[in-house]
Amino acid sequence: MSFRNINQAKVATIKHINNLITCLVNIKDETGEFLMPLADGRIIDTKGWEDWEWTHGVGLYGLLKFHEITGDKRALDIALAWFKDRFEIGTTKNVNTMSPLLTAAYLHEKGAADYYPHLDSWAEWVMYDMPRTEEGGLQHVTYLTDNYQQLWDDTLMMSVLPLVKIGLVLNRPHYVEEAKRQFMLHVKYLQDLQTGLWFHGWTFDGRHHFGKARWGRGNCWVTVAIPDFIEMLNLPATDGLRLFLTTSLVAQIDALVKYQDQQTGLWHTLIDDPSSYLEASATAGFAYGIAKALRMRLIPKEERYVNAAKKAMEGVLANISPQGELLQTSFGTPVFNDPEDYKKIPLTSMPYGQSLALLALTEHLRTFI
């Protein structure tokens, strides 16, 4: 057997991905620092793999994408085992715990499992029982707080993408139309018209953007979600919503190109504040979204875009430890009134860091190798 035709870059990338997966399912909170105690006595483990939060939802999506590209059985088995254990126990419905249902919808669609009752129950909750803001926006209600009248950029990834996918899988077009409206509403209130970046949050209660933070990981959910949303719906190039979302995405990516750290390829946790630390999980999301936007021809294959994506991929790879941990990953972050508070969020390994890196490197396999 000749090894001369083996793509060594592809082999190395898949090795990194497998290390990321191993770390993903073995992350432990050794000190209890990152546990989330609830008023009813429950304790949510946002760091470990054996719980149910948005951190796990993003991890499952990363496993799904890797399985779709490579057929990797281990990634599929890990996801199926997670759903088996979690669906037997259940959890409180909120904007973040909805996130695993995106992967559940894909697995149901491909016949890997029958999740119909769960898809139906969760999507019906989002459509009819989830708290709403003025103008019918999905209020960012979490385990800890209702976030009254608040829109967050995270919501598009955590609840709206699952809703549209379930609508497609269960043939419920009213879900799809509601998801379209949510994307437009979030663009309306969260994208900064001056920079093209997104504010972390907006509240109708006082009508303001809190500290006006253009936060890295919050922005990256948008960079991930818009191409995925357009792809899910298979919107044609002349579709009005596709054109609207694409112009929003281009404005954001143009700003990202401007603010990328040229030495490392990373972005700062406050994108336009170079005094804030460089953060790798947001960078991984940007790498995925920009690379996918290039592949889908949502942005032209201009040197500045291609270079930004490649530098971001290199920055992600440089921050994966030999054990498969994505370094420089910030802990979960609420909306702050003072931008300085974003700089105080600790750096620690997290499932979403692993899975955003997994998403980036999986897209890397398709786009650049």
Instruction: Centre a 10 Å sphere on the Cβ of residue 152 and count the other Cβ atoms it contains.
Output: 29
Residues 58-116 have pLDDT tens digits of: 999 999 999 999 999 999 999 999 999 999 999 999 999 999 999 999 999 999 999 99
State how beta strands 150-152 and 43-45 pair.
Answer: unpaired
Q: pTM of the predicted model, to two decimals?
A: 0.95
User: Tokens 């708290």 belong to which residue?
Assistant: 131
Mean pLDDT of the chain: 94
Statement: residue 164 has pLDDT above 80: yes
What does the alpha-carbon distance between residue 127 and residue 148 come to, in Å, rounded to a whole number?
A: 18
Q: Domain locations in the chain?
A: 9-366
Strand pairing category for 278-279 and 267-268: antiparallel
**Burial of 350 (C-beta count, 10 Å sphere; 0-12/13-18/19+):** buried
Task: Please tell me the distance from the alpha carbon of residue 347 to that of residue 280, in angstroms, as a whole number.
Answer: 10
DSSP type of residue 134: G
So what's the pLDDT on residue 41? 83
Give residue 1's pLDDT: 45
Does the pLDDT value for residue 159 go beyond 60?
Answer: yes
9-366 is classed in which CATH architecture? Alpha/alpha barrel (1.50)
The enclosing H or E element of 279 equals strand 278-279
Distance CA 222, CA 33 (A): 29
- CA distances 238 to 177, 234, 259, Å, are 18, 11, 31
Q: Is the pLDDT of residue 3 over 60?
A: no
List helix spans (H) across the chain: 8-24, 54-70, 73-89, 100-109, 116-128, 155, 161-169, 173-190, 216-233, 240-259, 280-295, 303-318, 351-367
**Cα 302 to Cα 313: distance, rounded to the nearest angstrom:** 17
Q: Where does the pLDDT of residue 5 fall: very low under 50, low under 70, confident under 90, or very high at 90 and above?
A: low
CA separation for the pair 56, 49 (Å, rounded):
7
Per DSSP, the three-state class of 152 is strand
Q: What is the pLDDT of residues 270-298, one digit of tens each?
A: 999 999 999 999 999 999 999 999 999 99
Cβ neighbours of 174 (radius 10 Å): 9
Q: In this predicted structure, what is the pLDDT of residue 368? A: 59
Q: 3-class DSSP state for residue 175?
A: helix
Q: What is the pLDDT of residues 21-59, one digit of tens each?
A: 999 999 887 787 777 788 888 887 778 898 898 989 999
Banded pLDDT at 212 (limits 50, 70, 90): very high
